[in-house]
Chain A
Amino acid sequence: MLSIIAYYSTHLYTLVLLICICYIISLLRKNYSLKERNEQMSEVMFITNMTSALSDVIRDDKDVKDALHCILSTVRDLLTADAIILLKYRDGLEEILSISVKNPDNENLMTAYTMINFQENKNTSSIYVKSHKLSDNTYINTAFSFIWYDNIDIIIAVQFLMDKELKEEHFTEYGLSIIPALRGLIIQALETEKRRNIDNIIQAKNESDKKAIELAHQLSRELEYKQLQNDFISLASHEFRTPLAVIGSSLFIIQRNYSAFFNKIKEIATVTELQRYEELFHKNNNLASNMQSYIKHLSSMIDSTLKVAIMEEHGITSHMQNIQIRPILDAVVSKLEHLRNDVDIIIQDHSNNCYIRFDPMNLELVITNLISNAIKYSRPDTSILITLQQIDGILNLFVIDKGIGIPKEQRSKMFQKFFRGSNTCTITGIGVGLYLTKKLVEANNASISFKSRKNVGTEFRVCFDVVEDI
């Protein structure tokens, strides 16, 4: 019995021992699988959380740099690392994209160490660890991982301050196997930023296109308005000229018929009647002539207004050529001298037939404006002196009248548009002639000035450069 008990006791002991061993093994296996599962769960949760954070960033229009910092901080907490640094490296220049440190006092040390060491193995695609002994019992261990993204090197540096060197076999223990997932998220974040930049560019382009269209519409409206304004001036000019032409032609017919009628009367009238009819005829003829000259005057005012309007819209058209002033001066004088019978025009020519460079049509207008003004403002029974004088390569044109002059306080406004002297009283005009004259003179590289004394007269002087080589 004892032998049987001893036999079974030995086996029971063995059995218990076996059961214990099995229990320990199962405990160890259970413990390992739990740790593995925890790690897997952590990784899954991390990726889920970070993907959700990135989605928030995209949805809420947050800065992608915030998302990167959030990712790095979460990973650093998960790994209980001391720092994670994200570097960008391009064309030999490093730039920190994001950084998360446990102790801010160590930031400079961690950054400097990363900067110095990342280049050694930057071409590798795997994770590698670089250890550096800081003191007897302190090591700075850095796990480097690289991303080649959009022609840029992105470096992930996970750093641990430890009392030992970290080896590759410790990767699982310290959770570094999560780094590939981290790489994926960083790429996703960078993609988000890139897409957002593209979206911003597209949006900016769309806005710019929209603005360009708006501006084009605005410009078109303004051009249309200008065209309408221009058309209105042309139309107004046309609408004024046509009635003037009707009045002028009617007046011409009346004068001619009246003249024919008077010639018939002369044949049958007595001497006394003839004298009376002749007086009447001359009186009516003078009235008709006055009407004709006012038609011309009104027409010239329309011309000036239209010219100013065209000049302000299109600028002055000047076809400069080498010309002599005298033929144009003579033509203008013969056209204007009949305007006043009580004013003589005297020309003194010391130009030596020199040439100036000026647009002939512009010059005709300039001379016309100056002489017609002189005629208009001359006192009765006076003369206008027009002098051409060539001195030292300059041709001076003087137009001197003995007219009403310009009050001293108003002389500075002489060339202003629509300015008329306070003493012009009943003398007609709209104040655009001298404004236009000055613009035309300046457009042809000449200059104009004047001297005036009230109730004595006015002297206008236009200076032209003489053309030496003809």
Chain B
Amino acid sequence: MSNVINIACIEDEPILRQNLSEILRDSGYSVRDFNDGAEALEYMQTVQSELCIPKLVIADINMPKMTGLELVRRMRTIGSAYSSTPIMLLTALSKAQYQTKAHDLNVQEYLLKPIDYNLLLAKVEQYVGPAH
């Protein structure tokens, strides 16, 4: 179990969330999915076990309750556990202003939908290593 790599997947579109989780799980990763940023943040604030802490966050930006950018901003202030967690924003928003904000929040990847999923898996492996 110690080899499990947890990935948090936050997407408000249910089919896309389900597909994304399935693609990652089928590739051997452990995925915990959330409907929006608030749900994900609540989980991150309460989870204690090192095994359950996400090693990578893949999030949409435009979501109800809490946007992906707000989630990242708050995540970075929770504590050392999330201060350098790699983050990939997977979004339909192509405006430069969002990309700049993401860059300022130390977001590693800003990927535009629809994404090439082979590329996505390559990026995931780049940040957290291959799944076991």
Whole-angstrom distance between the alpha carbons of A241 and B92 in the complex? 6
Given contacts A242-B13, A242-B16, A246-B16, A252 and B117 within 8 Å (CB-CB) = yes
Given contacts A241-B113, A242-B113, A317 and B23 within 8 Å (CB-CB) = no
Whole-angstrom distance between the alpha carbons of A327 and B44 in the complex? 41
A42 to chain B, nearest CB (A): 84
Q: Give the residue name and chain of the A residue nearest to B117 (CB).
A: A252
Q: Give the residue name and chain of the A residue nearest to B12 (CB).
A: A242
**Contact of B93 with A238 in the complex, beta carbons under 8 Å:** yes
* B residues less than 8 Å from A295 (CB atoms): 114
B109 to chain A, nearest CB (A): 15
A423 within 8 A of B: no
B78 within 8 A of A: no
A74 within 8 A of B: no
Given contacts A241-B113, A242-B113, A249 and B95 within 8 Å (CB-CB) = no
B94 to chain A, nearest CB (A): 6
**Contact of A245 with B26 in the complex, beta carbons under 8 Å:** no
Contact residues on A (Cβ < 8 Å of other chain), bracket: 20 to 34
**Contact of B94 with A252 in the complex, beta carbons under 8 Å:** no
With beta carbons under 8 angstroms apart, the residue of B16, B95, B116 that contacts A234 is B95
B101 to chain A, nearest CB (A): 15
**Contact of A245 with B23 in the complex, beta carbons under 8 Å:** no
**Contact of B20 with A249 in the complex, beta carbons under 8 Å:** yes
B1 within 8 A of A: no
Whole-angstrom distance between the alpha carbons of A275 and B115 in the complex? 33
* A residues less than 8 Å from B116 (CB atoms): 292, 296
* B residues less than 8 Å from A247 (CB atoms): 114
Chain A positions 226 through 256: 1 when the CB is less than 8 Å from some CB of chain B, otherwise 0: 0000000010011111101111111011001
Whole-angstrom distance between the alpha carbons of A232 and B2 in the complex? 47
A260 to chain B, nearest CB (A): 9
**Contact of A245 with B113 in the complex, beta carbons under 8 Å:** yes
Whole-angstrom distance between the alpha carbons of A246 and B15 in the complex? 7
**Contact of A252 with B113 in the complex, beta carbons under 8 Å:** no
A306 within 8 A of B: yes
Whole-angstrom distance between the alpha carbons of A248 and B19 in the complex? 10
Given contacts A253-B22, A303-B94, A306-B94, A244 and B62 within 8 Å (CB-CB) = no
Which chain A residues numbered 193 to 241 have a C-beta less than 8 Å away from chain B? 234, 237-241
Which chain A residues numbered 301 to 346 have a C-beta less than 8 Å away from chain B? 303, 306, 310, 317
